Amino acid sequence: MIGRLERLLNLVIALRETRVPLTAGDVRERVAGYDQPDGEAFRRTFERDKADLRALGVPVTTAPVDRWDDRVGYRIDPAAYDLPPVRLEPDELAALALALQATGLVDEAGAGLRKLAVDAELALPDDPAAPLLAGPARAPAPIEVELDAPHRAALMQAQLTRTRVRFPYRPTGRPAAARLVDPHALVLRGGRWYLVGHDHDRGERRAFRLDRIAGEVHTVGEPWAFAPPAVPVDVDDVVPPAPAEGPRRATVLADPAVAWRVAGRATGGGEPAGDDRTRFSVPVGDPDAFVTWALEFGPDLEVTDPPELRARLVDRARAALAAARPAGAP
Amino acid sequence: MTTVRTLQRLERILVMVPWLLEHPGVPVDEVTTRFGVTRRELERDLDVLGYCGLPGYGGGDLVETAVVGDRVTVRLAEFFRRPLTLSLREALTLLLAARALAGVPGVAESASLRRAQVKLQTTLGAEPRLSIDLSTPGDERLPLLRAAVEQRRVVHLRYRSRSKEETTERDVEPWAVVGAEGAWYLQGWCRLARGPRDFRLDRVEEAVLTGEDAGPVPAAPPPAPAYQPRPGDVEVVLALDPAAWWLPERLVVDAVEDVDGVRLVRLRTGSLEWLARLVLSLAPAVRVVQPATLAARVGDLAAATLERHAG
């Protein structure tokens, strides 16, 4: 009996070299390895092989056998199969290898790098790209960036081919609901991935956090279904706009131990406040977010101005105290 | 599973054959090094290939493979003249990796990486819209710490710990700089703690490169910074208002459940101080259900904060 590897290779060759699409019957009759005794076993084998080849990226297409015959056949278009001449120089290949390694995407795209390497003249065995070409084994990289997120690869593909997508989305504190979206861009900010796109249900551009997609992402209809966005997408699209009202700056006093951390958020350097603390001026976006930030320092930070932010912080600290020491408790 | 191995072998053969056609009579060693296979694996692949070809499978239809002496030759495989094309997913992922690395704050711009991106984009025929913003507080320290990792030099840190809110001075043998979940970390061997530690860059008050050699990086890469439960950790239950329902997504939690209209999250922590400050900062949307020691610490912090703001 012929092994699976041999059968798959023969199928690729036969489908690639045929002038007319081969029907399932043709494949069973002509291609080595498809001599399963009963039709059902053949059908299952052939279906699985086609699916595996497609998963590897082999472009197996379906087409009518010819104009006068409405039976469906299969073939591989050589023009779609062949890697176009990309011609990466060894240093470019090495740079990509490092990028894959640093981003932890070797498993996802290492095979792609190996394809590109066919055209490159590497100085083996010492070429910097060599260890990655050889296999998925991983040496520690001097720098690492985590880029993985659920659905990222599928959404990038939909964005590139302008394919509409549908997915269940779960906003904070509300149940999940289906959304239909034209994907315009993917944005990574603050360690989170967002899809920015036209939300058909809301009739406007929205940002969706990938980790709040509560299920599968399905493509809807054909690629190239919509025009690219007229307004380019910006990373700021994923951040809610600052409220129009409310104080824009706050004055805070920081204890010595945390002064340098507060300085990272403050505008300009701080100034000595008389005691051993430092006075800073800190920009305020959303007032609640500001109070959350200030409370993380606990007693090491005092908000002196404006009074309404100080009052808001005091209210929240009182609520924390009341919850932590219920009335009647010691 | 044999299936996965078979597909990996198929993928390898579809890449290897075009190269062998291009390099007739290439030494076996060069093939094994380049494609990361043993001589035996190579011979088995070539053996299978020798039975493949055009339907008919007669003389002239089959691929010819030969290992003569120490040299490999493959003939009559014109259909595999080119490797299988890049899948859209592979091309996009390569481009994403390149963009991300180029976007790391403080990474010297690499002309090679830029040229590679242009070529990939040309292959794709369209420009994927990706915005990658890797900037976070503390990233101004990246160049120095990267240099420390690359030059294998011990770094002296002045560090404000998250778990105890205390400032310490320590020497660290650096292993890697890692970006994860929106923060940058220095990973390495901490001589003060005598163990491997992750240091969040936004908590590094001061970093100085010493002249001391840091020794080699361990062969097994350290795992990405994330909470790992330890024996001795405290079990905590927090009650969340809807405004804080996002919290479990940011922490490593054991369970989230709704009991009598209240959302409860169960987690373990090695640092009550850090968690107490988190609860205080999110009050009143987050409350401590247990343990009492955590509630007491939140109460003390809240009382001290109120004292600061008295009058």
Residues 6 or more apart in contact with residue A241 via CB below 8 angstroms: none
Residue in chain A closest to B221 (alpha carbons) equals A140
The distance of B307 to chain A (nearest Cα, Å) reads 8
- One-letter-per-residue 3-state SS of B58-125: CCCCECEEEEECCEEEEECCHHHCCCECCCHHHHHHHHHHHHHHHCCCCCCCCHHHHHHHHHHHHHHC
Buried b (16+ CB within 10 A) or exposed e, A270-282: beebeeebbbbeb
Give the nearest partner residue to B18 out of A118, A134, A141, using CB atoms. Answer: A118
Q: Where do we find the tokens 């996009």?
A: B92
Classify residue A290 by its DSSP letter.
H
The structural domains of chain B, with segments of one domain joined by +, span 2-80, 88-124, 139-213, 234-308
Give the nearest partner residue to B283 out of A233, A234, A319, using CB atoms. Answer: A319
Percent of chain A with pLDDT over 70: 87
Residue in chain A closest to B127 (alpha carbons) equals A160
List Cβ<8 Å contacts ≥24 apart for A130-138.
A130/B33, A130/B34, A131/A97, A132/A97, A132/A100, A132/A101, A132/A106, A133/A97, A133/B34, A133/B35, A133/B36, A134/B33, A134/B34, A134/B35, A134/B36, A135/A110, A135/B36, A136/A106, A136/A107, A136/A110, A138/A101, A138/A106, A138/B221
Q: How far is CA B169 from CA A216, B94, B191, B208, in A?
A: 48, 40, 10, 11
Which amino acid makes up residue A153? A
Please tell me the distance from the alpha carbon of residue B187 to that of residue B199, in angstroms, as a whole number: 6
Q: Does A84 lie at the interface with B, CB-CB under 8 angstroms?
A: yes
Q: How far is CA A293 from CA A261, A288, A301, B269, in A?
A: 11, 9, 10, 21
Please tell me the distance from the alpha carbon of residue A122 to that of residue A124, in angstroms, as a whole number: 6
DSSP-derived pairing of the beta strands A301-305 and A278-283 = unpaired
Q: Where do we find the tokens 């994403």?
A: B96
Contact B203, B160 (CB under 8 A): yes
In this predicted structure, what is the pLDDT of residue B108? 66
Instruction: Quick: pLDDT tens for B137-184.
Output: 778 888 888 889 888 999 999 999 887 888 999 999 998 888 877 788
* Inter-axis angle of helices A90-103 and A106-117, nearest 10: 170
Domains B2-80 and B139-213 share a fold: no
Using the predicted structure, report yes or no on whether residue A45 has a pLDDT greater than 80.
yes
Contact A203, A193 (CB under 8 A): no
The Cβ-side half-sphere exposure at A30, using a 13 Å CA radius, reads 18
Of the candidate CATH numbers 1.10.287, 2.30.30, 3.30.70, 1.10.10, the domain formed by B139-213 belongs to 2.30.30
Tokens of residue B281, six digits: 């900062």
Instruction: Quick: pLDDT tens for A144-171.
Output: 777 878 888 889 889 888 899 999 998 8
Handedness of CA B36, B41, B43, B48 (dihedral sign): negative
Interval A72-101 mean pLDDT: 88
Q: Does A215 lie at the interface with B, CB-CB under 8 angstroms?
A: no
Percent of chain A with pLDDT over 90: 38
CA angle A316–A322–A328, rounded 5-degree value: 170
Q: What is the pTM of this model?
A: 0.74
Residues 6 or more apart in contact with residue A193 via CB below 8 angstroms: A149, A152, A186, A187, A209, A210, A211
Tokens of residue A53, six digits: 């080849």
Residue in chain A closest to B58 (alpha carbons) equals A32
Please tell me the distance from the alpha carbon of residue A109 to that of residue A112, in angstroms, as a whole number: 5
Buried b (16+ CB within 10 A) or exposed e, B280-300: bbbbbbbbbbeeeebbbbbbb
Contacts of A16 in chain B (CB under 8 A): 79
Contact A299, B305 (CB under 8 A): yes
Pick from A111-125, A273-287, B97-111 the range whose average pLDDT is largest: A273-287
Q: How far is CA B286 from CA A211, B242, B259, in A?
A: 22, 9, 15
Percent of chain B with pLDDT over 90: 39
Q: Which of B76, B132, B151, B308 to mutate to test the interface with A (most CBs of A within 10 A)?
A: B308
Buried b (16+ CB within 10 A) or exposed e, A34-56: beeeeeeebeebbeebbebbeeb
CA angle B154–B191–A261, rounded 5-degree value: 75
In this predicted structure, what is the pLDDT of residue A137? 43
Residue in chain B closest to A49 (alpha carbons) equals B7
Q: Which of A60, A61, A96 to mutate to test the interface with B (most CBs of B within 10 A)?
A: A96
Residues B55, A185: C-beta atoms closer than 8 Å: no
Q: B242 preceded by cis ω (within 30°)? A: no
The distance of B192 to chain A (nearest Cα, Å) reads 20
Domain B2-80 has CATH 1.10.10.10: yes
Q: What is the DSSP string of A170-227?
A: --TTS--EEEEEEEEEEEEETTEEEEEEEETTTTEEEEEEGGGB-S--EEES-SS-SP
Instruction: Quick: pLDDT tens for A207-230.
Output: 898 988 888 999 999 888 888 877
Q: Does A61 lie at the interface with B, CB-CB under 8 angstroms?
A: no
ipTM for the predicted complex comes to: 0.74
Alpha helices in chain A (DSSP H): 4-17, 24-30, 39-56, 78-81, 90-103, 106-117, 130-134, 152-160, 256-263, 287-295, 307-324
Q: Which of A26, A116, A275 to mutate to test the interface with B (most CBs of B within 10 A)?
A: A116
User: Domain A4-81 belongs to what topology?
Assistant: Arc Repressor Mutant, subunit A (1.10.10)
Which of A115, A8, A39 has its CA nearest to residue B2? A8
Q: Does B153 lie at the interface with A, CB-CB under 8 angstroms?
A: no
Range 9-38 of B in CB contact (< 8 A) with A = 9-15, 18-19, 22, 30, 33-36
Instruction: Quick: pLDDT tens for A51-78.
Output: 999 988 899 999 888 777 778 899 999 9
Contacts of B124 in chain A (CB under 8 A): 160
Q: What number of other Cβ atoms are within 10 A of residue A186's Cβ?
A: 27
In this predicted structure, what is the pLDDT of residue A325? 83
Instruction: Quick: pLDDT tens for B67-90.
Output: 988 999 998 888 999 999 888 888
Give the nearest partner residue to A299 out of B57, B287, B304, using CB atoms. Answer: B304
For residue A207, what are the β-bridge partners?
A: A196
Please tell me the distance from the alpha carbon of residue A233 to that of residue A281, in angstroms, as a whole number: 32
Classify residue A37 by its DSSP letter.
S
Q: What number of other Cβ atoms are within 10 A of residue A204's Cβ?
A: 8
Which amino acid makes up residue B112? S
Which of A305, A289, A308 has its CA nearest to residue A249? A305
Residues A191, B136: C-beta atoms closer than 8 Å: yes
Contact B279, B286 (CB under 8 A): yes
Which of A111, A206, A220, A106 has its CA nearest to residue A161? A220
Residues 6 or more apart in contact with residue B185 via CB below 8 angstroms: B177, B178, B179, B198, B199, B200, B201, B225
Interval A131-139 mean pLDDT: 51
Contact B162, B203 (CB under 8 A): yes
Contact B63, A13 (CB under 8 A): no
Contacts of B181 in chain A (CB under 8 A): 146, 191
**CATH code at A152-238:** 2.30.30
Contact A143, A199 (CB under 8 A): no
Instruction: Quick: pLDDT tens for B196-250.
Output: 888 999 889 999 999 999 888 877 666 666 667 777 788 999 999 887 887 887 7
The structural domains of chain A, with segments of one domain joined by +, span 4-81, 90-134, 152-238, 249-324
